Amino acid sequence: MSVYTAVTADELDAWLARYALGTLVEHSPIAAGIENTNYFVTTERGRYVLTLYERLPADELPFYLNLMAHLARSGVEVPAPAPDRTGALFSHLNGRPAGLVSRIDGTTIEAPSADECAGVGEALARLHCASQEYRTRLTNRRGPAWWRQAARAVRPYITPEQNALLSAEVRFQTGFGKVKLPKGAIHGDLFRDNVLFAGHRVAGIIDFGFAATDFFAYDLAIAVNDWCVIDAPGGSLD
C-alpha cells in the first residue's frame, strides 16, 4: 500500500473545514502510486482524491495544479483541483503539501487495443492544444542533465556495446535542445497506469507530478514507448 503519511478521519475532517465541501463521509487509501500518498475521499458534496505530495517541492505545486485546472476548464479529460475557501489549490496536512482533485471513475488497461491507443493519442493532442495557452513555465526535471545522471548510474550494469550506444544517443538527443520544435506544458509521464478508461473511452489522464515545459514530441515519445510496445520478449514497437 503506497501510504507514506497516514491521515486519520479526524485529521482529515479538521483539514476539510477550509473547504466548502461539507464534512467527511469516508476516506480510504489508494494502493497504486509510488511517489505520493493518495486517498479516496467522499464528503457530503462530492467525491475526490486527496494527494499528499511526498517529494514535490511546495514551490512547484502551483505549476502542476494550475495546469490541471486550466486543462479541465478547456475540456481536457483531467481531474479538476478543488480550491479551498481562499481559492488556494493546496495547503499542508500532517506536514505535507496536500490538495484535492475531482475523482474520475475509470480503470487502467494493461493491453490496449489500437482503438484505445488512438483514443489516448486524441486525448494527448487535446492536452497539448490547450496547454499552449498556459503561460507558466517549469524546466523539465527529466531533461538532458537527468539523462546524463541516469546514464552514469546504469553504465556498470550494461555491456560495452550498450554503453557506446547509450553515449551516442545521449549526445544525439541533447543536440535537439536547440531545435525549434513545438513546445509547451507536457504531461511527462503518460504511461498506461496514468490513463483511466470508462469502457473503451478515455475518462481521465491523471498524475501530473512530472509535468513540465518541454517539446510536445517528448510527451509523444514517452507514450509510444509504453502504449505501442508489444508485451513479448524483446518488447519491440508495434
Residue 57: which pLDDT band, with cuts at 50, 70 and 90?
A: confident
Average pLDDT of the chain is 93
Q: Which cell is 21 given? A: 465541501
Nearest to 196 by CA among 67, 77, 66: 77
Mean pLDDT of 23-46: 92
Per-residue pLDDT, 139: 94
Q: 24 near 16, Cβ under 8 Å?
A: yes
What's the rounded Cα separation, in Å, for the pair 134 and 63?
Answer: 10
Per-residue pLDDT, 118: 96
Residue 30: which pLDDT band, with cuts at 50, 70 and 90?
A: very high
pLDDT at 96 over 90: yes
Please report, for the chain, the start and end positions of each structural domain, with discontinuous segments joined by +.
9-102, 114-227
Q: Which cell is 226 given? A: 509504453
Per-residue pLDDT, 174: 85
Q: Which cell is 139 given? A: 524546466
Helices (H), 77-132: 114-131
Report the share of the chain in percent with pLDDT over 70: 98
Q: 100 near 82, Cβ under 8 Å?
A: yes
Amino acid at 16: L
What's the rounded Cα separation, in Å, for the pair 212 and 234?
Answer: 31
Q: Which cell is 152 given? A: 552514469
The second-level CATH assignment, the architecture, of 9-102 is: 2-Layer Sandwich (3.30)
What's the rounded Cα separation, in Å, for the pair 155 and 164?
Answer: 10
pLDDT at 34 over 80: no
Q: Which cell is 122 given? A: 486524441
Per-residue pLDDT, 178: 77
Q: Which fold has domain 114-227?
A: Aminoglycoside 3'-phosphotransferase; Chain: A, domain 2 (3.90.1200)
What's the rounded Cα separation, in Å, for the pair 169 and 171?
Answer: 5
pLDDT at 227 over 70: yes
CA 181, chain centre distance (Å)? 22
